Amino acid sequence: MFTPASARAASTYRQASIDSSTPHQLVNLLLDGLLQSVRMARASLQRGDLPAKGEQIARAVRLIEEGLRMGLDDEQGGDIAANLRRLYDYSVRRLTVANFRNDDAPMAEVQSLFETLAEGWRGIAGTPATALPRLSAQHGA
């Protein structure tokens, strides 16, 4: 699909986007990537491309575990961070079930949950930073 040069350029562009993003924008990028992976996993399952489905579910799980969950600050986030942590844990379990059983329903559920979360997250873009849960300091926030 991409030539090596265009793949490197795309990777460099993505990295520049990440490096220049605010914590709020980083969460948007993670949510967008997660939703894209879940959609691609569902499409792969419908096509019968089980290896691609597995790769996309694994990517979605990594985005949750290594991106969204690791960015939570339990001290600053309080109940919101605790609830998000539970949502992330539940979603990883559901994606694991979907992968193991080749079942679209858990993926559809996770997609719906994160579409709602992403919509809400985008809605707070104008909220003062002091009113938002913080990303932990260990992750560059």
Q: What is the mean predicted confidence (pLDDT) over 56-83?
A: 95
- C-alpha angle 101-35-27 in degrees, rounded to nearest 5: 130
Q: What is the mean predicted confidence (pLDDT) over 71-100?
A: 96
Count Cα neighbours of 112 within 13 Å in the Cβ-side half-sphere.
Answer: 7
- CATH class (in words) of the domain with range 23-122: mainly alpha
For all residues of the chain together, what is the average pLDDT?
A: 85
The pTM assigned to this predicted structure is 0.77
Q: Are 66 and 43 in contact (CB under 8 A)?
A: no
Give the tens place of pLDDT for each residue, 2-58: 456 555 544 555 555 556 678 889 999 999 999 999 999 999 999 999 999 999 999
Q: Please check the confidence at residue 141 and state whether its pLDDT lies above 80.
A: no
Q: Where are the alpha helices (DSSP H) in the chain?
A: 4-19, 23-47, 50-62, 74-101, 104-123
